[in-house]
Chain A
Amino acid sequence: MSKIIATKAIRGAHELVKRAEKELAQAVEEKGPDTRVEFPNTAYYLPISHGILGLNIETLGGLHELLAEAKKLLPPIPGDTLWLPYLGNTLDAGMAALFADEIIEAIKYTQDPLPYLTELNPSDGRLWLGAANDVILRERGIEFVDGTAPGFAACVGCCPSNEIAVSVARELQEKNLYVFMSAGNDGRSMAHQLEEEGIEMGWETRLVPFGEDVTATIHALGFATRAALSFGGARPGDYDRILRYNKNRVFAFVLAFGPVDDLKHAQAAGAINFGFPAIAETDIGRILPSGICTYEHVVSPVEPDKIVAKAIEVRGLKVTVSKVPIPVPYGPAFQGERVRAKDTSAELGGSTLPGFEFVTSKDLDEVEDGRIEVIGPEIDDIEEGASLPVGIWVEVAGREMQEDFEPILERQIHDLINGAHSIFHMGQRDINWIRISREAKEKGFKFKHLGSILHAKLHGEYGKVFDKLQVKIYTREKEVLELLDQVRAVYRQRDARLADMTDESVETYYSCALCQSFAPNHVCIITPERSGLCGSYNWLDGKAAHKINPTGPNQPVNKGAVIDPVKGQWQGVNEFVYNSSHKSLEIFNAYSIIEYPMTSCGCFECISCLLPSTNGIMVVYREFPDMTPVGMKFSTLAGTVGGGVQTPGFIGHSKHYIGSRKFILPEGGAGRIVWMNSRLKEEMAPVLKKIGEEKGIEDFYGMIADETVATTEEEVLEYITKVNHPALAMPSLF
């Protein structure tokens, strides 16, 4: 049986390599060997050849080298009798097929118009997204880092019915897995089926249509390769680490629907190199002994309604999903969904109506666990499409509960409510906004289910810090307005408390090694004035997380003797970082960008780096795809800064840190900022203006260049000279 699979895969690889050779010859002839090839906005060249072979292919002509490698790998087809061992050959054939895929897909990116949409989600009737850009990789990659997404299902072929396609997609979403779709059967793929059923697809819903061609499967494995390069500390060409990393970290698998031809067999053989098994709906045989994958390599036939469960078992994945008792599917994959106005059944809060969400602690005897009250009209009591004020009042009680945890629990409300399929949540505190779709209402979703979500999920994730939780949902203006004053007073108190906290005022900081499984030598030190570089964790979060999970990735760090208050260097922190960076970092300055700066995992929101001739620094946000004045795009910069190494002159940090009084303190602080990308600059306008006021610089905001006025270092210098930016008068950085 295995031999049949091997034979098909090897045959498929031969066919793909032949096709790649033909298409490459044609493309070179038409466009010339120097025509650039790249997947847009990726720092990793073509990911498979870059990761596995260490090649830096930039032109059509450069693809010849990859083609040569593919040909070298192509093994003979096993004989009918007296065959020679074929497992190693099949895996090599699979890799050759991936090389061929990459050649064919790279050539597609030289076409005009592009056959792919370079956006997050399908739109305007265009379905296929092709390669993920680096912004997506970083945003989504972090979900693989923190475990919110355990892996992905690379779905090839077309399900027996649209209904099955939808239910498979939903089940995968509920299990938090990404769904990567490619390789249709006779021009029809699972993505077409979902499209016909009006299912929202794209990166935000984790249902990603890569391409109709079988070769588009490369984008799933390219994503896996780049994850290992970005987060796994693997160097280009270190195929061993890249493949082992994927086997042991990214729990992905291939699901094949319908007939599986030679070409798809070849893709599956390529995926097995990564430790990703193939599970087929039709009978293609089995390869059960383990070895390359964690358990079986190929399992078939599996009924469509059991295929997701089987795949998860075969991959060896434990999915812990706390069941949320609501009538619609639930999972992080649904967080990215929007509910459009025309599909809305009920709208709560928003810009025109008062609203709030609030978590407060009570004594144990004041809370009845699981009690959910709706005070005011339920969804059935209002007209279709109506809007109501909303107050979500959550009361928790427990011996371990502390006041500091309240805002942390409260901040979860956004993600938790959004996790419900066809329920949409925006904002926080007193600017919250919820839409409940008609589909959800038809399925029986009520306002009270918002409470059910919070009860189930907060218990699941934070059950260690509280014992009981009850929710009151107010939908009448009178009560909402009455309570609004009360909660606003608490918000103000909380802000003041955090704002007053300084690095000097506490003795203990918190580490964050959440990403250490991906960047083994990196450790974040979170202080009150420098939040975690991913923007997700501030000092209070670290404290709470430690309380919730005392042996977890957030550990208290006693700062010990102060070595340098300006650079932010402490004896205790140095020792901690030395030990938890596997003895790779001896000295660590929390605030400096030049001297022993803090390392990064790869998940940073922003990167700051020196622009030497300007005597200042630039700050770029991770969603900015274009060239920056330092001559590198964000993605290339990220390659320089990430991976747990100190790179003097470069730091990764959160947006929040820009407003901190400790922002590059030894280098003179935020006054050094000479360039920001415009979107970040606009978003940070209040902070930047405040910095200007504090430093007595008139129109500091206006003095900072952005890409609309300067895209090179020379242009930045020219601009800041014109506006007389204060950085020019500051002491030289070197």
Chain B
Amino acid sequence: METVWDRSEQQEPRCGFGEMGICCRMCHMGPCRIDPFGQGAKLGVCGANAELIVARNFCRMVAGGAAAHSDHGRSVARTLLLAAKNPESGYAVKDGNKLAKVAGILGIDPGNKTKEEIAAAVAEKALSEFGRQEGELSFIKQAPEARQALWRGLNIVPRGIDREIVEMMHRTTMGVDQEHKNLMLHASRTALADGWGGSMIATELQDVLFGTPSPVRGQVNLGVLSETDVNVVVHGHEPVLSEMLVLAARDPDMLKLAESQGASGINLAGICCTANEVLLRHGLPIAGNILQQELAVATGAVDAMVVDVQCIMPSLPSASKCFHTHLITTSPKGKIEGARHYDIEAENALHSAREIVREAILNFPNRGNTEIPQEKMDLVAGFSHEAIHYMLGGRFRGSYAPLNDNIINGRIKGVAGVVGCCNPKVPYDREHVDLVGELIANDILVVQTGCSAISCAKAGFLVPDTAHKVAGKGLTEVCEAVGMPPVLHSGSCVDNSRILVALSEMVKAGGLGSDISDLPVAGAAPEWMSEKAISIGHYFVSSGVFTVFGVGLPVSGSETFARHIFEEFEAILGGKWAVEPDAGKMAGLIIDHINGKREKLGIGKARERVLFDMEMRRNLAV
């Protein structure tokens, strides 16, 4: 059986023009490419120079990523509408508190409305954010005031999600926007429409439908697959599918059917971000991250692999054919030749899910030899920003203040979001694990999402005990006080929007400046590969966060462009890009950046204990 690593090897040497971002296929006068050594062509046929070509390619990646997250958000909003309007759909509102909060943000007056009526209004309002033509996206209000003002000053507050993506595509087509700085400002607007728009809608409405995550125990790695249970592996991104599979897999009729086929139960395990969704809400096991999708099949123990959208490798049908595994697609947006298709959105989702599980069960007797690796690791995940708020003070004192306080007193130096994909160009999982290990050893609290979180989970970083073994003394003290691991798993890749809200909450909690760009924080995607990662990276940068990518960025073909995003951008938006393939050096960049921010905040040195006399007590806010 061939795997992603085999094919990656076959791609070597990679195309240098592509790696550097200086090939252009926007029109058929080309394809064109710029000679990076200055000996050949300096311009494309149309006259586009290196920075324009690099910028347009970069911008289209942002648009692609933003489109993916946002279309995900749209289908969640549609599902909420379905849940509100049709009690037979199998979906329902699970988290009334979150519904109320989102209704507030969207300006919906709950009045005397029923929960379903509010949900319908929320869904309709959320859907209108996609097609909105003027004004500002509602969720922008979650950002610190200073940040909103900065965006307004630059005229980059997103108007409508679809509008910005379409405009990005338009401006990068042949012969439109030819100023790379101008293009990048719209790239910011597009990326913000993802982070503070499409992704945030996806996250928030998923919470409304399926519950806001709170800390939960789980397990990770291929060892979670069962020899004796029917293994249904769910892979992709949208919990709209996986939540229904969870229900179906717990259905007593299904369990009975499984027994009748000689299985002792039904084991639903996840791959990629769907895995994160079902882990956070149900504690279900994670079989692996993106690069393990073929490996899961290769155990011979997967009775059905059920996929929806994003990061599904086209190699799966051929891998499945080597074993008894049934590959099942569920989204009309993502069909694969050679797979069975069930439309999860058609009619009753739960009914479809049951049919899928039934197919898996009936496939169980067809299993041949299996080889399930022993490796699996315990973990604690589920750190939504609401959960962090509660965890730091309970129902009555919950807030981000203890986090800020311990950053100010230096026990925690700062916070880093380490997210993103896995990439076969680098040794599997290593960049994530090395980077995160180094950061926590330096008292930097790490927040994770996506496949990166799964990599670190396998390394045991999500076990609370890790704090004693790997993390620095200060961070360990805080972890022990709170009972948390030093690495907080916050969800799937759309859940990076949770990190945006958490950063805004940190600003609001006070003591660390007035904008996200004042905070001692950084972002990293050490093994990125997807366009979605570029969109995420750019919405973090545009929200004021220093963001480092590993594996290289396709921008090195233009020094001018690279300088713009690596240096000049900071003066415009407070955040900037960096690229560093070596995890150790990447950690160094993040630590230096965080220390620099600490100096600026005046918390670079250990704080002396202040004792309060009456006069000082009077001046404390209550």
A residues contacting B by CB (< 8 A) are 1-3, 6, 52, 73, 78, 81-92, 95, 146-147, 150, 232, 239-241, 243-245, 248-249, 251, 273, 287-292, 294-295, 297, 312-313, 316-320, 517
Docked pose: A629 CA to B413 CA in angstroms = 63
A91 in contact with B394 given A84-B380, A84-B483 (CB within 8 Å) = yes
Instruction: Evaluate contact between A92 and B396: CB separation under 8 angstroms.
Output: yes
Which of A85, A146, A320: most chain B Cβ within 10 A? A85
Instruction: Evaluate contact between B481 and A287: CB separation under 8 angstroms.
Output: yes
Docked pose: A232 CA to B398 CA in angstroms = 21
The verdict on B621 contacting chain A, using a C-beta distance below 8 Å, is yes
Interface size class of B (residues with CB under 8 A): 35 or more
Instruction: Evaluate contact between A313 and B394: CB separation under 8 angstroms.
Output: no
Contacts of A150 in B (CB 8 A): 614, 617
Contacts of B176 in A (CB 8 A): none
Q: What 0/1 readout, one digit per residue, does chain B (453-480) give for beta carbons within 8 Å of chain A?
A: 0000000000111000000000001101
The verdict on B401 contacting chain A, using a C-beta distance below 8 Å, is yes
Shortest distance in angstroms between B413's beta carbon and chain A's nearest beta carbon? 14
The verdict on B618 contacting chain A, using a C-beta distance below 8 Å, is yes
Shortest distance in angstroms between B411's beta carbon and chain A's nearest beta carbon? 6
A82 in contact with B464 given A88-B393, A292-B393 (CB within 8 Å) = yes
Contacts of B398 in A (CB 8 A): 88
Partner of B617, one of A87, A88, A95, A248: A248
Contacts of A318 in B (CB 8 A): 611-613, 616
Instruction: Evaluate contact between B406 and A291: CB separation under 8 angstroms.
Output: yes
The verdict on B217 contacting chain A, using a C-beta distance below 8 Å, is yes
Partner of B396, one of A2, A239, A245, A319: A239
Complex interface residues of chain B between 553 and 571 (CB less than 8 A to chain A): none
Instruction: Evaluate contact between A87 and B477: CB separation under 8 angstroms.
Output: no
Instruction: Evaluate contact between A2 and B616: CB separation under 8 angstroms.
Output: no
B residues contacting A by CB (< 8 A) are 215-217, 378, 380, 390-398, 401-403, 405-406, 409, 411, 463-465, 477-478, 480-484, 609-614, 616-618, 620-622
Docked pose: A87 CA to B402 CA in angstroms = 11
Instruction: Evaluate contact between B611 and A289: CB separation under 8 angstroms.
Output: no
Docked pose: A731 CA to B611 CA in angstroms = 58
Contacts of B465 in A (CB 8 A): 81
| Other contacts beyond A289-B478, A290-B402, A313-B611: 9, CB < 8 A | A84-B215, A85-B391, A88-B392, A150-B614, A150-B617, A244-B622, A289-B477, A297-B481, A318-B616
Docked pose: A249 CA to B617 CA in angstroms = 6
Contacts of B380 in A (CB 8 A): 82-85
Which of A83, A249, A319: most chain B Cβ within 10 A? A83
Contacts of A251 in B (CB 8 A): 612, 617
Instruction: Evaluate contact between B481 and A288: CB separation under 8 angstroms.
Output: yes
Instruction: Evaluate contact between A243 and B396: CB separation under 8 angstroms.
Output: yes
Docked pose: A292 CA to B612 CA in angstroms = 17
A82 in contact with B611 given A87-B481, A88-B392, A291-B402 (CB within 8 Å) = no
Contacts of B477 in A (CB 8 A): 288-289
Instruction: Evaluate contact between A82 and B378: CB separation under 8 angstroms.
Output: yes
Instruction: Evaluate contact between B617 and A289: CB separation under 8 angstroms.
Output: no
Docked pose: A312 CA to B409 CA in angstroms = 19
Docked pose: A273 CA to B399 CA in angstroms = 12
Contacts of A88 in B (CB 8 A): 390-395, 398
Shortest distance in angstroms between A177's beta carbon and chain B's nearest beta carbon? 13
Instruction: Evaluate contact between B620 and A2: CB separation under 8 angstroms.
Output: no
Docked pose: A289 CA to B465 CA in angstroms = 18
A291 in contact with B396 given A78-B483, A87-B481, A320-B613 (CB within 8 Å) = no
Docked pose: A83 CA to B482 CA in angstroms = 11
Instruction: Evaluate contact between B618 and A517: CB separation under 8 angstroms.
Output: yes
Instruction: Evaluate contact between B215 and A273: CB separation under 8 angstroms.
Output: no
Docked pose: A147 CA to B484 CA in angstroms = 39
Sorted from nearest, which 10 A-B pairs have the closest CB atoms? A291-B402, A147-B614, A91-B394, A318-B611, A86-B483, A248-B620, A88-B394, A517-B618, A318-B613, A85-B391
A316 in contact with B610 given A84-B217, A517-B617 (CB within 8 Å) = yes
A83 in contact with B611 given A90-B394, A291-B392 (CB within 8 Å) = no
Contacts of B480 in A (CB 8 A): 1-3
Instruction: Evaluate contact between B217 and A87: CB separation under 8 angstroms.
Output: no
Shortest distance in angstroms between A242's beta carbon and chain B's nearest beta carbon? 9
Docked pose: A6 CA to B478 CA in angstroms = 14
Which single residue of chain A is at the shortest CB-CB distance from B617? A249
Shortest distance in angstroms between A102's beta carbon and chain B's nearest beta carbon? 15
Partner of A291, one of B405, B463, B611, B621: B405
Contacts of A91 in B (CB 8 A): 393-397
Docked pose: A244 CA to B380 CA in angstroms = 31
Instruction: Evaluate contact between A249 and B393: CB separation under 8 angstroms.
Output: no
Docked pose: A78 CA to B215 CA in angstroms = 12
Instruction: Evaluate contact between B609 and A292: CB separation under 8 angstroms.
Output: no
Instruction: Evaluate contact between A273 and B397: CB separation under 8 angstroms.
Output: yes
Which single residue of chain A is at the shortest CB-CB distance from B404? A291
Contacts of A78 in B (CB 8 A): 483
Docked pose: A246 CA to B394 CA in angstroms = 17
Contacts of B464 in A (CB 8 A): 82-83
Contacts of B401 in A (CB 8 A): 291
28 contacts between A and B (CB under 8 A): A6-B483, A81-B465, A82-B217, A82-B380, A83-B464, A84-B216, A84-B483, A85-B380, A85-B482, A86-B482, A87-B391, A88-B390, A88-B398, A91-B395, A91-B397, A95-B396, A244-B621, A273-B396, A289-B409, A290-B402, A291-B403, A291-B405, A291-B406, A312-B611, A316-B610, A318-B616, A517-B617, A517-B618
Instruction: Evaluate contact between B397 and A292: CB separation under 8 angstroms.
Output: yes
Docked pose: A73 CA to B403 CA in angstroms = 23
Which of B380, B393, B483: most chain A Cβ within 10 A? B483
Docked pose: A150 CA to B617 CA in angstroms = 9
Shortest distance in angstroms between B557's beta carbon and chain A's nearest beta carbon? 46
Contacts of B403 in A (CB 8 A): 291
Contacts of B395 in A (CB 8 A): 73, 88, 91-92, 95
Instruction: Evaluate contact between A83 and B612: CB separation under 8 angstroms.
Output: no
Shortest distance in angstroms between A598's beta carbon and chain B's nearest beta carbon? 22
Contacts of B482 in A (CB 8 A): 2, 85-87
Shortest distance in angstroms between A452's beta carbon and chain B's nearest beta carbon? 25
Instruction: Evaluate contact between B484 and A85: CB separation under 8 angstroms.
Output: yes
Contacts of B406 in A (CB 8 A): 289-291
A52 in contact with B396 given A82-B378, A249-B617 (CB within 8 Å) = yes
Instruction: Evaluate contact between A289 and B402: CB separation under 8 angstroms.
Output: yes
Docked pose: A295 CA to B610 CA in angstroms = 10
Shortest distance in angstroms between B506's beta carbon and chain A's nearest beta carbon? 13
Docked pose: A89 CA to B215 CA in angstroms = 12
Docked pose: A132 CA to B371 CA in angstroms = 71
Docked pose: A729 CA to B463 CA in angstroms = 83
Instruction: Evaluate contact between B215 and A85: CB separation under 8 angstroms.
Output: yes
Which of B390, B396, B465, B481: most chain A Cβ within 10 A? B481
Which single residue of chain B is at the shortest CB-CB distance from A90? B394
A248 in contact with B621 given A52-B396, A84-B483 (CB within 8 Å) = yes
Instruction: Evaluate contact between B393 and A313: CB separation under 8 angstroms.
Output: no
Contacts of B612 in A (CB 8 A): 251, 294, 316-318
Shortest distance in angstroms between B405's beta carbon and chain A's nearest beta carbon? 5
Instruction: Evaluate contact between A289 and B481: CB separation under 8 angstroms.
Output: yes
Shortest distance in angstroms between A326's beta carbon and chain B's nearest beta carbon? 24
Docked pose: A294 CA to B406 CA in angstroms = 11
Shortest distance in angstroms between A255's beta carbon and chain B's nearest beta carbon? 18
Partner of B394, one of A82, A95, A240, A316: A95
Instruction: Evaluate contact between A292 and B402: CB separation under 8 angstroms.
Output: yes
Contacts of A273 in B (CB 8 A): 394, 396-397
Docked pose: A475 CA to B123 CA in angstroms = 89
Docked pose: A281 CA to B520 CA in angstroms = 38
Docked pose: A122 CA to B397 CA in angstroms = 36
Contacts of B396 in A (CB 8 A): 52, 91-92, 95, 239-240, 243, 273
Docked pose: A294 CA to B612 CA in angstroms = 10
Docked pose: A249 CA to B395 CA in angstroms = 21
Contacts of A52 in B (CB 8 A): 396
Which single residue of chain A is at the shortest CB-CB distance from B482? A87
